[in-house]
Amino acid sequence: MAEIKEQLRILTAGTVDCITEEGLAEKLKSGRPLRVKLGIDPTASDIHLGFAVVLRKLRQFQELGHTAVLILGDFTARLGDPSGKSATRPQLSKEEIDAHAATYVEQVQRILLPDRIEVRRNSEWLATMGIDDVIRLTSRTTLARMLERNDFGERYRNGAPIAVSELLYPLLQGWDSVMVQADVELGGTDQLFNVLVGRQLQEQEGQEPQVVITTPLLEGLDGTQKMSKSLGNYVGVTEPPEEQFGKLMSVPDPLMPRYLELTTGWDPDRVEQVMGDLEAGRIEPVAAKRLLARTVVDLYHGEDAGEAAEAAFDRVFKAHEAPEEIPEKELDRAELGEEPVRVARILARAGLVSSNREGARMIEQGAVRQDGVVVEDPDRALPVDGLDGKVFQVGKRKWARIRVG
C-alpha cells in the first residue's frame, strides 16, 4: 500500500468533510484493506456525472487496495431518502426498484474495479426485521436529534408534513453500516446527517465507528442547480459518446474548475496543472472544454472514443452536417393513434423529448427540424404512411430517423 500520508492526500482531495482525518489515518495504519461503504437507492434508471463524483472517490479507495462495499438500497428505496427534500417523496414499487437496481450494477462497473467490490442489498437484513427490532432501533435516537436535520427542521417549522417512515430512513441506512461493519462511509454533502447516524449506531453496537467522508454536489449544465435528471441538466454515464461530448461543451466557463476536478478521474496534480494553465491563459476555455469532454467520454466508452465524439461534434456543429450514423427509432403504427400524427407526438414517441407538451414547446422555440427544415407550427401533423425514413432533429444534439412498424 502507498504511504499513509500519500493515501490521506489522495483520499481527502476534493472532499468536503472527513470525520475524522485522524481516525482515517489510524485505520490506514492497520495495513488491512478497509471496508468502504457507499449506499445507492435505486430510485431512477440512470446514474449521472453528479453521482459519479462519489463513485470516483470510491474507485480511489479501491486503487489503494481497499474494498468497495456497495449497498443497493432496495429496501430503503421503498421509503425514499428525504435528504434535501421539502416534501415527502412518493414510494416506489418493488418491481420499479428491482429494475433500477439491475441497471445500477452495470453502470457502476464502468467506474469501479470489479475485483475489489462487494455488492449487497439491504433487504438482506432490513426485510427480516420484526416490529420489535424496529422499536429497538428507534430507541437509539430522539425526535430532537432527527429535527436537527435541516430539511426536517425546516419542514417542521413550516408545518409541512413529515412521514414517520422518513424519520426511520437515517436509522435504517445507519444500520447498514453496522451489518457490513464499514470502516469508512462515503456520500454527498446532502448525506452527512445519515452517515453520521451510522457512526453513532456502530459505537452503540461496540464497533469501531466508521470514518465519514463527503464529496461535493456537482452543479448541472445550467450552472446553478444540482445535477439532476428531473431538471434535465445532467450528463448520464451511459449516454452515447456524441451526446456526452456535446453536453460537456456547454459547461459554463465558471464551472470548468469543478468539472475538471470532479468528473475526470484525474489525480490532484493533473487537475492543478490544467487549472493553472486555464487560469494563466496558457489554454483557452474552449480547448479546456474539449479536453474535459474527451476525457469523460474516454472514461465511460473506452480509449479513443473521445476523439471520435469530438470529430462527430465538429462535423455537426462546424460543418453543419448531420451525424454519420443517425439512430433509428421504430414506432408502432397502432400506438401512434389517429392520423395525421402531430410532430410533437412523434418526437415524444421517438424519445427526442419527454412529452407531447415539451415537443410543442421545442417547436415554438424553433428547435425542431424535419429533414433539415425548421418546423414552425406546433400543431403540424403528418400522415403515418409518409413517416418512414423521415429524420427529425431536436436542438443541436438529438437526432432520429423514424421507422414505422
pLDDT digits (tens, 9 = 90+) for 324-334: 778 888 888 88
Distance CA 239, CA 386 (A): 30
pLDDT confidence of residue 87: 46
Answer yes or no: are the C-beta atoms of 166 and 194 closer than 8 Å.
no
HEC readout, 54-76? HHHHHHHHHHCCCEEEEEECCCH
pLDDT confidence of residue 322: 67
Query: 82 falls in which pLDDT band (50, 70, 90)?
Result: low
Contacts of 270 (CB under 8 A, 6+ apart): 264
Query: 259 falls in which pLDDT band (50, 70, 90)?
Result: very high
Distance CA 62, CA 69 (A): 10
Tell me the average pLDDT across 343-370: 89
Mean pLDDT, the chain, rounded, equals: 85
- Give the three cell numbers for residue 316: 455537426
pLDDT confidence of residue 78: 76
pLDDT confidence of residue 164: 77
Tell me the average pLDDT across 10-24: 91
Distance CA 36, CA 124 (A): 19
pLDDT confidence of residue 109: 84
| Ranges 55-59, 116-120, 297-301, 384-388: which has the least confidence | 384-388
Domains of the chain: 4-215 (3.40.50.620), 241-317 (1.10.240.10), 328-404 (3.10.290.10)
Note the residue count of the chain. Answer: 405
Answer yes or no: are the C-beta atoms of 309 and 241 closer than 8 Å.
yes
Tell me the average pLDDT across 161-185: 89
pLDDT confidence of residue 80: 61
For the entire predicted model, the pTM comes to: 0.70
Q: Where does 302-382 have alpha helices with state H?
A: 305-317, 343-349, 356-364
Query: 175 falls in which pLDDT band (50, 70, 90)?
Result: very high
User: Which of the listed ranges 85-94, 125-134, 220-229, 377-386 does the model predict with the highest average pLDDT?
Assistant: 125-134
Distance CA 15, CA 36 (A): 15
Instruction: Examine the pLDDT at 84 and tell me if it is beyond 60.
Output: no
